[in-house]
A and B are shown apart, each in its own frame.
Chain A
Amino acid sequence: MEAPAVASPYSKDLLLTMYRKMYLIRRFEERAGQQYTLGKIAGFCHLYIGQEAVAVGPIEAMRKDDYMLSAYRDHGQPLARGSDAGMVMAELFGRGTGYSKGKGGSMHIFDIEHQFYGGYGIVGGQIPLAAGMAFASRYRNEDRVTVCYFGDAAANQGALHETFNMASKWKLPVIYICENNRYGMGTAISRTSAVPEIYKRAAAYDMRGEPVDGMDVLKMYEAVKDAAAWCRAGKGPVLLEANTYRFRGHSMADPATYRSKQEVEEERKGDPIPKLRDYALKNGLGADADFERIEEEVKAQVDAAVKFADESPEPSLEELWRDTIVEPGEPDVRPRERVLGVKVENWPSYPSGQELKVTWDLEPRAQAEAADKKAGLTN
């Protein structure tokens, strides 16, 4: 192996961590697909295979306390944030040991302990929520950032445009990552979009927007690191368009006949997982033995996750009557505590209404009056 001309700016530890997480998502999703065909998983099940770099790069670039949420292709992000793989699989299986007690299924993974605020099933429905979480961070004067994923087709939802306008006007610390896998279900984004380059839409709201190679985990890492610093500096929201590709259909129900075999084969050459491995090997930041060890460990982890899900009971029928209305004094459910009996310390707590001092002046009076003057409303 030749010595690289320029030393890599990344540590071996970071690269192996990223590799482990991408491989975990890949392996988990392959097993989920298999379990779906066995009838263990039902409903809609959207796999992340091919898009792993889009979840893993940003998560390594974020702080642990930054908020994250996504659409319904939502197994990858929580796994990369540290969720228990068995409990995610159990949710897919509809078992009581899942993160949402089996009430949500594949499309609604929530792991608040790991700051993953959910998978949402209505296209674009999570986009305003992310702005609201970022709004709360500014309101409380925290320097936390919110990262929100959505698919390319969600860019045509009104919710996106309404939210971008507010997020930019109020300089909310939110990073929107459009996972452009080129197809909204079976329809190519270019067929339904006047401007198929989604990042360009940011310009309409005076918002920073740029494309990123979503098949390269290090590019995703760099883009989000930079965007997070921008947000934390109070400069407002960022839109990143991660150009990626799903190797499988839209969901398990989709044979993806609208794409040519040739196209899929071509895209598979850009697989982000071997790409990272090659990079690490070339830079002497990992040996074959490291990757083989990781792969063996992850395979065992996913085998255990499937076993855990399969051996878990269905939720009790009493669960039907829980979690619709919060009763007075009722605490929130901490899933790992409920299922695994471990003490979960990392749980959100907020300042009380008396402790909190709101110092943010969202629209300073002088600014408002200047706007009035400009509009000819005052002398």
Chain B
Amino acid sequence: MPELMYREALNQALAEEMERDANVFLIGEEVGRYNGAFKVSQGLLDKFGSARIIDAPISELGFGGMSVGAAMVGLRPVVEMMTWNFAILAMDQIVNNAAKLRHMSGGQLRCPIVFRGPGGAGGRLSSQHSQSLEANYAHFPGLKVIAPATPADAKGMLKSAIRDENPVIMFEGERLYALKGEVPEGEHVVPLGKADVKREGTDVTVITWSRMYYFCMQAAEELAKEGISVEVLDLRTLRPLDEEAILASVRKTNRAVIVEEGWALAGIGASVVDIIQSKAFDELDAPVERVTGLDVNMSYAANLENATQPDAPKIIAAVKKVLYRQGA
């Protein structure tokens, strides 16, 4: 299987879907002649022309809403938000229009659109450019929200998102773009709404998504050396949550740790805890633990930035806590 960078996998997905369906177009800041702020759209302008790879003005609300309008009448826009921090400006169009059109029209309209771009913390960018905003979008009925961790999932899920009949919000990992991984060749489509057991284990389930997945894998390897068998469940889709996969894993291990880059209050992990406590309470051998970003704004200084985010040692401590092991 060929190894691709996360950004290359996304590029392949876009190129393949645009080849397959002329209704698909990409719009965003710097996506065309600059080849993308993170080079996801490298080479696509030359291949598909300026009506299908569109350099937008810095007007997230404007081109976000314009794309919703295009989706209402049969096109399939892919809207690149240079980062999700900027997409906050477009939230009215995403939340009040895209997510509600089907409902407000009593089923007359659909809105097949993908809003995608990098999210997540880190990179020495301070508070406005360094935050995990997926929980905000996961709150809204009418949207699907995805956050793949690996290049293979990034490709397969973007393809599914473009083919989906609903608005899909895709959080890519800003710090994952250069990361390499194996990506199956040919038609590789990963269904939305399905979590993935990325590492099998028997003692505790660690549930996560996007960049935190790598810290969880690191922690699992460290813990294996101590004889602790960790199952890592990558949610991949944050709305709808794959309840079945969450419960199946917890019923197997009887313990769970949820690792979330964003803030704890009203976070996605809180909903995962709710699913577990309401549907698998009797199967639990310990209270569920959460590892989250600290409840503060992100700082620029390296030591403050590092301390704000979850990391492998924090995950290891949480796993030991649910196992009632000393020395955490």
Which residues of A pack against B, CB within 8 Å? 67, 98-104, 108, 110-112, 117-118, 120-122, 125, 127-139, 158-159, 162-163, 165-166, 169, 322-326, 328, 330, 332-335, 348, 350-358, 360-365, 368
Contacts and interface: CB of A to CB of B under 8 A. Distances in A.
A370 to B, nearest CB: 13
A122 B95 CA distance: 11
Nearest to B59: A162
A125 B165 contact: no
A132 B106 contact: no
B108 A129 contact: no
19 contacts: A103-B103, A103-B106, A110-B104, A129-B65, A129-B69, A131-B69, A132-B69, A139-B75, A159-B61, A166-B59, A323-B102, A325-B141, A351-B23, A352-B21, A352-B23, A353-B24, A358-B51, A363-B50, A368-B33
A350 B34 CA distance: 32
Interface of B: 20-25, 32-33, 49-52, 54-57, 59, 61-75, 77, 92-93, 96-97, 101-110, 141-142, 144, 165-166
B23 A128 contact: no
A358 B106 contact: no
Contact of B165 (A163, A322, A326): A326
Contacts of A111: 108
Instruction: From B20, B62, B67, B101, name the one whose CB has the most chain A CB atoms within 10 angstroms.
Output: B62
Q: Interface on chain A toward B: helix, strand, loop, or mixed SS?
A: loop
Nearest to A159: B61
B74 A323 contact: no
Contacts of B108: 99-100, 110-112, 332-335
A110 B62 contact: no
Contact of B65 (A117, A132, A136, A333): A132
Nearest to B22: A356
B106 A353 contact: no
Nearest to B27: A135
A361 B165 contact: no
Contacts of A351: 22-23
B33 to A, nearest CB: 7
B97 A129 contact: yes
A241 to B, nearest CB: 21
Given A130-B69, A162-B61, 8 more contacts: A125-B92, A128-B69, A135-B75, A169-B57, A324-B141, A326-B102, A364-B50, A365-B50
Contacts of A128: 61-66, 68-69, 93
B62 A165 contact: yes
A111 B109 CA distance: 10
A195 B137 CA distance: 37
Nearest to B112: A326
A117 B50 contact: no
Nearest to B108: A112
Contacts of B49: 358, 361-362
Contact of A165 (B24, B52, B57): B57
A118 B92 CA distance: 16
B69 A135 contact: yes
